[in-house]
Amino acid sequence: MTGNMLAGRTWTFGDNINTDLMLPGPLLLASEADQRRAVFSANRPGWVDQVQVGDMIVGGLNYGMGSSRPAARSLRNCGIRALIADSINGLFFRNAVNFGLLALECPGVRAAFTEGQTAEITLEDFTVRNRETGAVLKALPVPQMLLDMTLGGGLYPHLEREGLIAPR
């Protein structure tokens, strides 16, 4: 049961967090390292220096609206283990799958967490638990095909194994 439990310290954000906040336009064609340093620079300067590997993001409604740019990759490069939000933009969710960032839609999650509290995710039943308050919420199930892709590191490793793109 605990074999598939992930836990992490949470950072909370509001509704409609857009891709340009995670990956600003001027950095669109920069290196991954430079893109990582720019995450949330407009709305939360300094965050990239505080976030630690294994942390999680708790967002509100419509998380990740905007561009097809690989903003999910930047979050993963910041060490983010999972994103849990009240709802997630469909294109951002695709890119989360593409780049191996676990992303769960969990109605009510934003209100259930105060920043710094620890979230526990159990993938067997898609539950999210607040370790401090004990509150348990139900996330929307992710189809197995997409979950496998996410946990397998995303789409590129798959395409490499299939011989469709060259390894890098």
Name the residue nearer to other proteins (CB basis): 7 or 146: 146
**Calpha distance 96→156 (Å, rounded):** 12
Beta carbon of residue 80, minimum distance to other proteins (angstroms, whole number): 17
Name the residue nearer to other proteins (CB basis): 94 or 131: 94
Query: How many of the other CB atoms lie within 10 Å of CB of 59?
Result: 26
Binding site for other proteins (CB under 8 A): 15-16, 18, 20-21, 24-26, 28-32, 41-43, 61-62, 65-68, 70, 87-91, 93-95, 98-99, 105, 143, 145-146, 154-156, 159, 162-166, 168
**Calpha distance 164→166 (Å, rounded):** 7
Beta carbon of residue 64, minimum distance to other proteins (angstroms, whole number): 9
Beta carbon of residue 18, minimum distance to other proteins (angstroms, whole number): 5
Instruction: State the Cα torsion 135-85-119-128 to the nearest 10°.
Output: 50
Contact of 87 with 61, CB cutoff 8 Å? yes
Amino acid code (one letter) for 160: E
Name the residue nearer to other proteins (CB basis): 1 or 164: 164
Beta carbon of residue 3, minimum distance to other proteins (angstroms, whole number): 25
Q: How many CA atoms lie within 13 A of 136 on its CB side?
A: 4
